[in-house]
Amino acid sequence: MSRSTGHLTVAMVALLIAWPSAALGQSDWRTSTEVRNLYEAARAEGEVVIWGAQRRELAWIQEPFGKRFPGIEVKWTADRSAATKLITEYRAGRFAVDLFHFSLGGMLPVDRRRVLGANDWTIWGNGPEDALLDGKVGLTHNLVYAVVYNEDLVSAEDLPTTWAGYLEPRWQGKLVASQFLLPRLLGFLALEWGEAKAADYARALIDKQKTLITRAPREGILQRGERLVAVGEFVGSAMYWKSLGMPMHWAATELMPATQFGVATLVRAPHPHAAQLLAGWMTTDEAKITRERLMFSADVRPGSGSEIGALLSAKGGRIVFEDLGNMTDRAALYERLSAIVTGQVR
Amino acid sequence: MGLSRGSGLGCSGLFVVGAAIVTAVYLVSAPLLMLVVTAFRGPDDFLPFEPDAEWTLEHLRTIYYDPVLYQVTIPDTLTFVIGSVVCTFVIAFSLAWLVERTDLPWRNVLFTLILFPLLVPTIVLAIAWIYLFGPNAGWVNVALRSLLGLSGDGPLDVFTMPGLIACQSVALVPFVFLLMSATLRTMSPALEEASSTSGASPWTTFRRVTLPVLRPGMLAPLILTALITLEQFEMPLLVGLPARINVFSTRIFYELNPDTGLPIYGRAAAVALPFLVIGLLLLGVYNRLIREADRYVTVTGRGYRPRRLPLGQWRWPAFTAAVAYVGVTGILPAIVLIWISLYGYGMPSLGSWPEVSLEAYRNVINDPVFIGATLNTLMVAGASAALVVVLGAVIGWVLARTRMPGRAILDVVSFASVGIPSVIAGLAAMLLYLTLPVALYGTVWVLVLTYSYRLAVTTRMSRVGLMQMHTELEEASAVSGGRWLTTLRRVIFPLLAPTLVSGFVLLFIIGVREFTLAMILGSPDNLVLSVLLWRFFEDGSASEASAVASLIILLVVPVIFVLRRLVAPKAEYG
């Protein structure tokens, strides 16, 4: 083998080794000195406490994180009112939590009270676009709205590809929607359509289509055939329910809103190094891929490399992302539209 | 005389009564004050005691200037509460009378089955009703359509006001049944026998003797039920929301679970204030109606010999009616619950049997937190129920037997606990124990103390029980040289035992299924089963959630049986 051929071979092998990591853009953190030092300090702390909204968002973390960084126990608490609880504990001088993992909307009141701490996301291979709120919140994943249906009772070809399509008479008495999620979806639609049209849509869904508005688990209502299609459910939920053996599938519409989730360390975290280590790891592709595989919730922002993201793009629906620019307007809209959904305004 | 009408309390008696009063006032007044103060603290996005929060009337203006309150919320609430209370009372009284006062067969089994809806967390019960009576695919509707040859949906629809009232009534019947059965069990039949001997018909005896004698015992549950119905939010939220029914409690829920930002505690407290006002008004009515307490004395030192009324030819029809009731309200939801735990949400069919498995139970039992959650649940529910029963008995005695100065305030304070929504009590406890320089926050003890604010139930029950007992029994004990504590231990507590055990069972069950307080004050160290159940539900793991609910029932049923057995021999009727 000539010298030049040898160099080429070495270069190709190096490229082959480096390429998958380079493609992911996050190869360095596995060998980074900063991360190694952080891990050593975190291991001395022994545990990390994370709060979030749902068990599904938190329970999966320990195993893959423990494999990557052994010796650190992840203690989690799931509570939709975690933001209030956290603020109250901080006001009382109790600092027992290291990390907060929530939707952007849940992060804001906590951030306003200066409870979120600063973090360096760059050592994990993240760029400025991967963090919000002055770099305090590292972005983890999105939950994307679509329709979910019982595939034993409805054929995919029969489903409309627009939200308005569900106002056709054939869907009367066959739809269900979450009282929590539907107003949020309507808020996104109102940004695109205008508030009046979104309000008309909400009234038509409820009054004309007799949509079952409920706080009960929709998967049960769908599976039993009490209703056939859930309007405004998450794509990831359909995949998760299917993985549990339920006959569920999701369908795209012309507009698919995506809620943004993130993670932040807290000021006065009792385990500051473990907090930074876990927060940083949760923004890596390794964690995102694991979350996507186990929990079906993925970072679907352009360029994320997510399989679910690719699937959504292939279905043709336009994804509208929640960000700080549209959050406040959307929140005001869905608060007003919620009154229609709950029947407080008729 | 001040504190004691009869014999002196002695130092130890004074200490016990004093400690009970201080503890009771502490347990109730902290959340009470919190509720009142919170209603006047703002702005919206601030917690009541944050440094920048200030005094305001904004919450009251927002709530009470809103036309929706008068056009939707109040009419819906009145229909819901009146309908539920009437249905609940008719059913609960009939069942309690049959079980406690007649020779109905299988009374002990029926007693436990009637309690079933109380054992199941309301959210699980609501889902079972939707399963059974959903207009399209409800099991009962499918069966009825098949039997009657009907098409389309229905014929029954749970998502209506009558459906909501029926569901809520079924959920409340066990609670009222327990209160009524305690009253009926301690009632001497001497007056009824005298009426019968004088030639009065059973109906006349019931109308002219039984009902008037039971009036105080019925008023307390009636008032409590009205207030507790006002506070119920799970059933209106799950069954009422699809029917566009909006009641006071759902309004509180929406304020506490806003679509954006932090909960608006001030508005929730402002909505909750009428509960307190209504509670105080009802308390006034109650006290006025039972002023002449001696009229209701039925247990004296002479010939307390309870006897059961023979139903004769009505024995088996009454039994059939009771069985039909527990079949629909107890056994059918239990089947749904067990089915979901074994199979999931799918409809039962021949094809589904091979997929039935105990996997959900294995998952729950193998969950690393399950054992700890079970022990925490038993500990918190048992300790708080015992504390409240003892406190309630002593406070009830003070209210019924003494002319202690300020006892009217004690009466109001102990009763006011029913006007405090759990979420406000939870928030109050959270702020209180975070602030106090004692390491209670995050432990099971904070749950024990917070669960114990529900003093109204046992105080009322004990007071009613004492009003049915003549003071001559206690006077006889005092004359014989018995100190107050001895009289309490050897006379009052044994005679009140059925009432106290009913109170303990009720509070134990409420403690086992308590969710709101446990969630607000939760930490990894004080996790209880209801929170574990909720986590599974939110997670989409319905089978595991139903398995936890089934295990909760398995845990509670033996407690009811054992306690009823402990009391029954002493109270069994000849």
| Tens of pLDDT, residues B203-234 | 777 778 777 777 767 777 788 788 788 878 88
What is the SS3 assignment for B66?
coil
**What is the average per-residue pLDDT within A50-56?**
89
Q: What are B446's two structure tokens?
A: 């904070």
C-beta atoms of B538 and A109 within 8 A: no
- Whether residue A16 is contained in a domain is answered as no
Rg of chain A in Å (alpha carbons): 22
- Whether residue A157 is contained in a domain is answered as yes
DSSP state of B239: I
DSSP state of B309: B
Between B354 and A66, residue with greater pLDDT: A66
Q: Report the candidate in B431, B413, B448 with the shortest Cα–Cα distance to residue B265.
A: B431
Cβ atoms of residues B91 and B165 within 8 Å: no
CA angle A49, A55, A60 (to 5 degrees): 75
Residues in chain A within 8 Å Cβ distance of B363: none
**What is the average per-residue pLDDT within A49-60?**
91
- B533 touching chain A per CB within 8 A: no
DSSP one-letter string for A60-73: TSHHHHHHHSTT-E
Q: Cβ of A109: how many Cβ atoms within 10 Å?
A: 18
Burial of B110 (0-12, 13-18, 19+ CB in 10 A): buried
Cα A290 to Cα A126, A296, A326: the distances in Å are 18, 9, 29
Q: Report the candidate in A271, A286, A287, A331 with the shortest Cα–Cα distance to residue A117.
A: A271
A314 and A191 together in one domain: yes
User: Percent of chain B beyond pLDDT 70?
Assistant: 91
A37 and A181 together in one domain: no
**CATH number where B473 lies:** 1.10.3720.10
C-alpha B142/C-alpha B158 separation (Å) is: 14
Domain around B100? 10-45+67-294+317-351+363-571
What type of residue sits at position A151? Answer: E
C-beta atoms of A94 and B435 within 8 A: no
Task: Look at A183-187, B65-69, B535-539 and tell me which has the smallest mean pLDDT.
Answer: B535-539
A220 and A293 together in one domain: no
Q: Taking 70 as the threshold, does the pLDDT of residue A9 lie above it?
A: no
Between B25 and A281, residue with greater pLDDT: A281
C-beta atoms of B134 and A223 within 8 A: no
C-beta atoms of A56 and B131 within 8 A: no
What type of residue sits at position B407? Answer: R
- Whether residue B4 is contained in a domain is answered as no
C-beta atoms of B262 and A83 within 8 A: yes
- B524 touching chain A per CB within 8 A: yes
C-beta atoms of B524 and A77 within 8 A: yes
- Residue A132: the pLDDT is 92
C-beta atoms of A342 and B241 within 8 A: yes
Domain around A43? 26-140+259-299
What type of residue sits at position B513? Answer: R
Q: Taking 50 as the threshold, does the pLDDT of residue A251 lie above it?
A: yes
Task: Look at A65-69, A276-280, A298-302, B342-346 and tell me which has the smallest mean pLDDT.
Answer: B342-346
- Whether residue A13 is contained in a domain is answered as no
Q: A214: part of which helix (H) or strand (E)?
A: strand A212-214
**CATH number where A253 lies:** 3.40.190.10
Q: Which of residues 219-238 of B touch A (CB under 8 A)?
A: 237-238
Provide the whole-model pTM. Answer: 0.80
Sign of CA dihedral A68, A71, A72, A76: positive
Cβ atoms of residues B271 and B66 within 8 Å: no
C-beta atoms of B260 and A91 within 8 A: no
**What is the average per-residue pLDDT within B12-26?**
85
A168 and A254 together in one domain: yes
C-alpha A281/C-alpha B206 separation (Å) is: 73
Q: Find the residue in B nearest to A336 (Cα).
A: B259
Q: Taking 90 as the threshold, does the pLDDT of residue B337 lie above it?
A: no
A267 and A246 together in one domain: no
Q: What are A220's two structure tokens?
A: 């049960």
The closest CB to that of A183, out of B45, B237, B259, belongs to B259
Out of B250-254, B342-346, B391-395, give the one with best mean pLDDT: B391-395
Q: What are B467's two structure tokens?
A: 């009003």
Q: B200: part of which helix (H) or strand (E)?
A: none
C-alpha B9/C-alpha B1 separation (Å) is: 12
A289 and A188 together in one domain: no
A180 and A322 together in one domain: yes
Binned at pLDDT 50, 70 and 90, residue B191 comes out as: confident
What is the least distance, in Å, from the CA of A3 to any CA of chain B?
60
Q: Find the residue in A nearest to B518 (Cα).
A: A79
A241 and A276 together in one domain: no
Instruction: Write phi, then psi, for A216 (nearest 5 degrees).
Output: -75, 160
- Residue B444: the pLDDT is 93
Q: What are B426's two structure tokens?
A: 């939870």
C-beta atoms of A77 and B519 within 8 A: no
Interface A:B, Cβ pairs < 8 A: 146
Q: Find the residue in A nearest to B355 (Cα).
A: A245
Cβ atoms of residues B242 and B159 within 8 Å: yes
- B566 touching chain A per CB within 8 A: no
A80 and A99 together in one domain: yes
Cβ atoms of residues B177 and B92 within 8 Å: yes
What is the SS3 assignment for B468?
coil
Task: Look at A32-36, B340-344, B533-537 and tell me which has the smallest mean pLDDT.
Answer: B533-537
CA angle A150, A151, A157 (to 5 degrees): 115
- Whether residue B56 is contained in a domain is answered as no
Q: Cβ of B91: how many Cβ atoms within 10 Å?
A: 19
A243 and A197 together in one domain: yes
- Residue B299: the pLDDT is 53
- Whether residue B3 is contained in a domain is answered as no
- Whether residue A323 is contained in a domain is answered as yes
- Whether residue A277 is contained in a domain is answered as yes
C-beta atoms of A87 and B523 within 8 A: no
The closest CB to that of B540, out of A109, A212, A219, belongs to A219
C-beta atoms of B134 and A108 within 8 A: no
A198 and A67 together in one domain: no
Task: Look at A58-62, A262-266, B245-249, B422-426 and tell me which has the smallest mean pLDDT.
Answer: B422-426
Q: How many separate domains does chain B show?
A: 1
Cα A46 to Cα A68, A71, A282: the distances in Å are 14, 6, 18
Q: What is the ipTM score, two decimals?
A: 0.74
Residues in chain A within 8 Å Cβ distance of B258: 335
Q: Find the residue in A nearest to B44 (Cα).
A: A109
- Whether residue A4 is contained in a domain is answered as no
Question: How many Cα atoms are found within 13 Å in the side-chain-facing hemisphere of A335?
Answer: 15
Q: How many separate domains does chain A show?
A: 2
**What is the average per-residue pLDDT within A335-342?**
86
A86 and A156 together in one domain: no
C-beta atoms of A219 and B261 within 8 A: no
C-beta atoms of B430 and A85 within 8 A: yes
Q: E strands of chain A, at which residues?
A: 47-52, 73-78, 99-103, 131-132, 137-150, 175-178, 212-214, 229-234, 248-251, 255-265, 318-321
- Whether residue A12 is contained in a domain is answered as no
Give me the residue label for tokens 């124990």.
Answer: B433
What is the least distance, in Å, from the CA of A1 to any CA of chain B?
60
**What is the average per-residue pLDDT within A41-51?**
96
What is the least distance, in Å, from the CA of A30 to any CA of chain B?
31
- Whether residue A2 is contained in a domain is answered as no
- Whether residue B309 is contained in a domain is answered as no
3-class SS shares of chain B: helix, strand, coil, % to 5: 75, 0, 25
- B131 touching chain A per CB within 8 A: yes
Question: How many Cα atoms are found within 13 Å in the side-chain-facing hemisphere of A167?
Answer: 13
